[in-house]
Amino acid sequence: PLTQNVTVVEGGTANLTCRVDQNDNTSLQWSNPAQQTLYFDDKKALRDNRIELVRASWHELSISVSDVSLSDEGQYTCSLFTMPVKTSKAFLTVLGVPEKPQISGFTSPVMEGERMQLTCKTSGSKPAADIRWFKNDKEIKDVKYLKEEDANRRTFTVSSTLDFRADRSDDGAVVSCRVDHESLNSTPQIARQVLEIHYTPSVKIISSSSWPEEGQSIVLTCESKGKPLPEPVLWTKDGGELPDPERMIVNGRDLRISFLNKTDNGTYRCEATNPIGQNSTEYVLIVHDVSNTLLPIIVIPSLTTATVTTTVALTTSTATSATAINTRDPNALAGQTGPDHALIGGIVAVVVFVTLCSIILLGRYLARHKGTYLTNEAKGAEDAPDADTAIINAEGSQVNAEEKKEYFI
């Protein structure tokens, strides 16, 4: 007879099959590890509802054992009653399914810096199950593993201990204990625990402006972390209360100072407190002069650029205008507002200056023409006794005078 070893998960069904190639109507029999006969051909011998006949023929005797328990494990024998009797043995292996793992040793909350020992335990596995730890899906390798035999002396209780010092970065982390076992059909049993770690606040001030100027407003944001969350935060200036509550408005973590003024210079402190402790940080505010920007005049040049080319006086006037800007505010060009702004400001100033110069020159040119015209008309009329004679005596004819008048208009 031919048989095969069988492995079955506790509670499952095991099929025991015995085959023979040649048989002259000789009987086949299955017996259990205690040498009790289970089936003799198609006749049931042992009163056990879990054992049933699957197939009985001259070349096969198959039986099934349902709801297998750990005690069913052992060597089963198939016998062919020839002379002498021929046998074949099949080993039935029963796997113990690990229980759902439990994590113990967790206390909540834990203070930062404290030692934490988490133990994950699972009983009932056969063979002993494998336990692994993960923190946010990343495996932790350095753990202690312990294996104990259960009271039934067949299965095992396995446990694993994770030992670490609580850190603020672990707050909210998910620690999981994963049990892998051949009886679990590659779907591991997992126990999870979310860590809660309390720690002192940390604070940071973020400024809305890197170059606060007079008249502007600024928002200082106090970013504080901590567990429990430190709220509200406390804002002070130079060790005292905020001096001007009308312009200095605290809204949650934000301190907003509007219409900055040089008296606002000083050290601003943000303090965050939670039940674990306190922390603070400072920001030194320096209110700067309003930078001398010429940008608002930008509109004019594009309309009048065409007139710029007319006069020779331009070169010198460009030079003077540049000097004028330099003397007016040495910082404007070396600029904290940035070299680009200063450059643009300078160019715009030059263009505007040149434009204004050309307009003035044009005006003066026209005005001078008007003067010449009047003088010409008066020539020859100086000695006339009355207006009529003056017109008649005048050098220019009536037609000429009219042309000039039109031109003037």
Ligand X SMILES: *[C@@H]1O[C@H](CO)[C@@H](O)[C@H](O)[C@H]1NC(C)=O
Interface residue list for ligand X (CB under 6 A)? 5, 13, 15, 24-25, 54, 64, 91, 200, 202-204, 244, 261-263, 265, 277, 279, 286-288
Q: Smallest distance, Å, CB 198 to ligand X?
A: 12
DSSP 75-117: EEEEEE-SSS-EEEEEEEEEEBPPPPPEEES--SSEETT-EEE
Nearer to ligand X, 77 or 200 (CB): 200
Torsions phi, psi of 13, nearest 5?
-115, 135
DSSP 196-219: -EEEEEEEEEEES-SS-BTT--EE
Nearer to ligand X, 196 or 213 (CB): 213
Report how far Cα 222 is from the mean position of its chain's Cα atoms. Answer: 19
Q: Smallest distance, Å, CB 205 to ligand X?
A: 10
Q: For residue 192, what are the β-bridge partners?
A: 176
Nearby residues of 70 by Cβ (< 8 Å), 6 or more positions away? 10, 94, 96, 126, 152, 154, 155
- The residue written with tokens 């056969």 in the block is 126
Nearer to ligand X, 7 or 161 (CB): 7
Nearer to ligand X, 184 or 401 (CB): 184
Q: Smallest distance, Å, CB 277 to ligand X?
A: 6
Q: Smallest distance, Å, CB 25 to ligand X?
A: 4
Nearer to ligand X, 248 or 294 (CB): 248
Which of helix, strand or coil describes residue 18?
Answer: strand
Nearer to ligand X, 52 or 99 (CB): 52
Q: Smallest distance, Å, CB 96 to ligand X?
A: 16
Joined together, the tokens standing for residue 145 give 């593993």
Nearby residues of 8 by Cβ (< 8 Å), 6 or more positions away? 14, 68, 92, 93, 94, 95
Q: Smallest distance, Å, CB 220 to ligand X?
A: 16
